[in-house]
Structure 1
Amino acid sequence: MFPFPQSVTPAVRNHMDAHAAFLNDMSKTVFHSFQQMCDLNIQLVQTLVEEGTVAGQQVLKADRQTEIFTAASIRAQPTSEKLRAYQQHFAKLAADSQAELARVTEQHVQNTSRTARALVDEVARTSAEETERSIRTQQEALRSAADPFARPNDAAEPAMRGDGEEPRGHPVAGQGAQQGQGGRPSGSAAH
């Protein structure tokens, strides 16, 4: 859906895509509901302005005060009915909007939860690997600080590596054969 750099893992990408789809659908639903409410309000205001204009014209045309009160009372009944109809439409729109939001949430919650679990699993696995790597690095640093003159190719290296294998290209068992007694090379005679 979105271009991500290569350092972003598939779990993060899937979770971000699921969240983006969820937020897009939610925003569409909210804006559609808001648009319907605005249309309803505009329609109400237009109706009230038209009713007010007609009532104002009748008041201006009236010759007696009784005609003014009669015109006002005649217009009051339809206006109250229109306000009641507006309240019913508004309540219906609010209920429809709530139902639509619940449907969108239900539609996306399983996918978003699944991708969140996958992301948490990957983060836990990665943090465990990083912790293990950090511990090994700290152990190496402690060993080198404890014996700064130790060679990395000593016989203790396979134990430090933790894999039980000897380093390749460095014979450990044959080191004593090259030296004679007392640390002298085996080729020289002891006098």
Structure 2
Amino acid sequence: MTTTPEQFIAATKANLEAQFASVAALNKKAFEGLEQLMTLNVNAAKASLEESTAAAKQLLNAKDPQEFFNLTSAQVQPAAEKVLAYSRHLTSIATATQQEFTKAVETHIADTNTKVIGLIDEVTKNAPAGSEQAVVALKTVVGNINAGYEQLSKTAKQAQQTLEDNLNKATQQFTQAAEKATAKKK
């Protein structure tokens, strides 16, 4: 069997359809992450408004400056804990979305790689004598592209982990500072 232009056209069409499906899946994941982020922010804004209103009422009803100061101090720790919870939830959403993107891209690349290798193997079966070096070079290019992607994926995962670690450290430092400030005021 010889490789015909129709086979290349069919392979190209299948590849384009797979790419469109991948883009649609990535768009869906992006909107799901965005929806979660919007829900988090709306809920945080509602809670903040309710808590601020309640706190303002308490402060307005303070009988003396000491009570006002004590009420203000008492709100620092819960506020810090809420910021910590918000940042953890935000990190969770970002991490889950990033993991979904990575999984979808890795699946797409693996599928594409399988198809490309299959096409190369099919072409190799029907290649004229003396074209072995070109086929080896083509397979080397595909291998190098895959190695580059694997390194990029590894680096992206490390960057995500570093971001999460730094956010957790910053949140922890913020919480500790708030605890110290609250303890000093008491």
Q: State the TM-score, normalized to the length of structure 1.
A: 0.52
Structure 1 residue 87, shift from structure 2 partner: 1.1
Question: What secondary structure, in the 3-state scheme, does the structure 1 residue paired with 2:31 have?
Answer: helix
Partner amino acid for 1:29? K
Structure 1 residue 29, shift from structure 2 partner: 1.1
- What residue is the counterpart of 1:74 in the other structure? 74
Does the CA contact (< 8 Å) of 1:51 and 1:79 recur in 2?
Answer: no
Structure 1 residue 63, shift from structure 2 partner: 2.7
Is 1:106 paired with 2:95? no
The 1:43/1:108 distance shift into structure 2, 3 A limit, reads: same
Does the CA contact (< 8 Å) of 1:59 and 1:71 recur in 2?
Answer: yes
Distance of 2:34 and 2:104 partners within structure 1? 16
Structure 1 residue 116, shift from structure 2 partner: 6.0
Distance of 1:47 and 1:119 partners within structure 2? 57
Cα deviation code 1:53-94 (max 9, x no counterpart): 111111122232222222211222111101011111112222
**What 5-or-longer segments of structure 1 have no aligned partner?**
1-8, 121-191
Question: What secondary structure, in the 3-state scheme, does the structure 2 residue paired with 1:36 have?
Answer: helix
- What residue is the counterpart of 2:44 in the other structure? 44
Q: How many residue pairs align between the two structures?
A: 115
User: After the TM superposition, which of the residue ranges 15-24 and 108-117 deviates more from structure 2?
Assistant: 108-117
Distance of 2:27 and 2:117 partners within structure 1? 24
The 1:71/1:56 distance shift into structure 2, 3 A limit, reads: same
When Rg is computed on C-alpha atoms for both structures, the one with the higher figure is 1
Does the CA contact (< 8 Å) of 1:12 and 1:119 recur in 2?
Answer: no
- What residue is the counterpart of 1:145 in the other structure? none
Distance of 1:110 and 1:61 partners within structure 2? 65
Alignment of 1:151-162 (within 5 A): none
Structure 1 residue 119, shift from structure 2 partner: 8.8
Higher helix proportion (structure 1 or 2)? 2
Distance of 1:69 and 1:87 partners within structure 2? 28
Structure 1 residue 30, shift from structure 2 partner: 1.3
Please provide the CA RMSD for this pair.
2.6
Structure 1 residue 117, shift from structure 2 partner: 7.0
Partner amino acid for 2:58? Q
Distance of 2:116 and 2:26 partners within structure 1? 18
Distance of 2:118 and 2:13 partners within structure 1? 11
**What 5-or-longer segments of structure 2 have no aligned partner?**
1-8, 121-186
Partner amino acid for 1:14? A
Partner amino acid for 2:96? D
Cα deviation code 1:141-181 (max 9, x no counterpart): xxxxxxxxxxxxxxxxxxxxxxxxxxxxxxxxxxxxxxxxx
Is 1:29 paired with 2:29? yes
Q: Whose RCO is larger (CA < 8 A, sep 6+)? A: 2
Question: What secondary structure, in the 3-state scheme, does the structure 1 residue paired with 2:63 have?
Answer: coil
- What residue is the counterpart of 1:152 in the other structure? none
